Amino acid sequence: MMFEPPIPVLLPHGLFDEDGRCHRQGELRPLTGRDEWTLAVAGDRPDPRAVSELLASCLGRLGDYPRVDAALTSALTRGDRHHLTLHLRARMYGDRMSLVARCPAPGCGAMADVDVRLSTLAPERPDAAPEVLSVALPEGRAEVREPTGEDDAVLADVAGPRSERSALLWSRLVEVDGRPLTPDGWKALPAKSRHAVAVALAEGTTAPDLGLLGRCPRCAAWLELELDPFALLARELRGGAARLESEVHCLAFHYHWSETDILALPRARRWRYLELLRNELEGRPLVDGWS
Ligand SMILES: [Zn+2]
């Protein structure tokens, strides 16, 4: 198909505006060649800001926001960003996916396939989610929100031990009796209170559950793995980078289009032009039924 219409996608959490209205209904456009290339060279762990740019370029609209920019996609929850990325992946490569993991059992180490359907990982959630979750603590009423792309971008800039980074994240997510916390304020809460907040978020989250289970084919041990949707899509696009280069070469060589113009096309359109070109070069009808 030459022109791919945007597909509707309902975010599990959605973006709350200043009036408290939630915007969940989005439109997902196909990635352009430029987007594919950017993510293909982004490395194993794409930077959260690069993910925001990518999501902004393929999210056509969101609720009452007719235009979506990176500031808006960075304000989406991590779960919504994972949801969108899984749908992008399914659109490009299909709903089924096979991951390979090494068996952790001592002395085994066999490679096991774990098959996943992305639609079961990121199902549509018709029910609206609350903007924040509330927990009653001895210290007061805590409100916790889901982490966003902006939180992940801030964390990516901070070095230091895991415990410090974790305290920084929680201090951004949690307020007690309407008062924001500092990282030290979070650490000063009793362990029981911190645990209660973490449990409330884990139970109330709308994020896709990315923990996968498989069975070792040799020793039948259980394998657990955690899917990172951004890393997955980046890895698959990296695998197609050489093909993308040859597509640009072939279209530029025959049509004399610029690299910029070719990379502005989504994959389906590039492939359709390549198909027409092959028909032309092989002397076949360009379109069935035409001479
Ligand atoms: Zn095993």
Question: Computed over its alpha carbons, how large is the radius of gyration of the chain?
Answer: 23
**Structural domain spans, the chain:** 7-126+209-239, 133-204, 242-281
Q: Count the neighbouring beta carbons within 10 Å of the beta carbon of residue 146.
A: 22
Alpha-carbon span 188 to 194, nearest angstrom: 9
CA of 116 to the centre of ligand 1 (A): 20
Calculate how far, in angstroms, residue 90's C-alpha sits from the geometric centre of ligand 1: 29
Of residues 70 and 112, the one with the higher pLDDT is 70
Whether residue 266 contacts residue 31, with contact meaning beta carbons closer than 8 Å, is answered with: yes
pLDDT digits (tens, 9 = 90+) for 8-34: 999 999 999 999 999 999 999 999 999
Averaged pLDDT of the chain? 92
Whole-number Å distance, alpha carbon 104 to ligand 1 midpoint, is 7
Angle at 71 between CA 65 and CA 72, to 5 degrees: 30
Task: Extract the tokens encoding 96.
Answer: 């089924």
> Quick one: average pLDDT of 173-185?
96
Residue 286: is its pLDDT beyond 80? Answer: no
Determine what percent of the chain is predicted with pLDDT higher than 70.
98
Q: What is the mean pLDDT of residues 159-179?
A: 95
User: If you search the block for the tokens 């509707």, which residue do you land on?
Assistant: 8
- How far apart are the CA of 253 and the centre of ligand 1, in A? 51
The dihedral over CA atoms of 114, 229, 119, 60, expressed in degrees to the nearest 10, equals: -160
Give residue 214 CA to ligand 1 midpoint distance, Å: 11
Q: How far is the centre of ligand 1, averaged over its atoms, from the C-alpha of 172 (Å)?
A: 41
Tell me the pairing of strands 22-28 and 7-16: antiparallel
Q: Distance from the CA of 100 to the center of ligand 1, in angstroms?
A: 13
Bridge partners for 23 per DSSP? 15
Q: Which band of pLDDT confidence, cut at 50, 70 and 90, is reported for residue 42?
A: confident
Matching residue, tokens 């895991």: 162
Write out the two tokens for 206: 């709308």
SS3 84: helix
Cα(101) to centroid(ligand 1), Å: 10
**For residues 138-152, average pLDDT:** 97
Cα of 227 to ligand 1 centre, how many Å? 20
Helix and strand numbers (H, E) in the chain are: 13, 11
Which one, of 3, 208, 266, 237, lies nearest residue 87 by Cα? 208
Nearest to 210 by CA among 12, 9, 6, 62: 12
Band (254; pLDDT cuts 50, 70, 90): very high
Separation of 277 CA from ligand 1 center, angstroms? 49
Residue 248's pLDDT band, with cuts at 50, 70 and 90, is very high
User: Is residue 237 helix, strand or coil?
Assistant: helix
Classify 236 as helix, strand or coil: helix
Distance, CA 225 to ligand 1 centroid (Å)? 14
* pLDDT at 125 > cutoff 60: yes
Tell me if 256 sits within 8 A of 81, measured CB to CB. Answer: no
Distance from Cα 119 to the centre of ligand 1, integer Å? 28
Q: pLDDT of 187-237, one tens digit each?
A: 999 999 999 999 999 999 999 999 998 899 999 999 988 999 999 999 999
- pLDDT at residue 6 greater than cutoff 50: yes
More confident residue, 253 or 283: 253
Tell how far the Cα of 96 is from the centroid of ligand 1, in angstroms.
24
d(CA 222, ligand 1 centre) in Å: 8
Task: Name the burial class of residue 290, with classes exposed (0-12), middle (13-18) and buried (19+) by CB atoms within 10 angstroms of its CB.
Answer: exposed
What is the pLDDT confidence band of residue 4, given thresholds at 50, 70 and 90?
confident
CA 23 to ligand 1 center in whole angstroms: 45
The alpha carbon of 91 and the centre of ligand 1 are apart by a number of angstroms equal to 33
Tell me, what's the pLDDT at 1? Answer: 47
Is the per-residue pLDDT at 288 higher than 80? Answer: no
Q: Which two tokens stand for residue 110?
A: 């066999």
Distance 103 CA to ligand 1 centre (A): 5
**E-assigned strand segments in 63-210:** 96-102, 111-117, 133-137, 140-144, 174-176, 179-180
Average pLDDT of span 84-98: 92
**Tokens 């029981």 label which residue?**
192
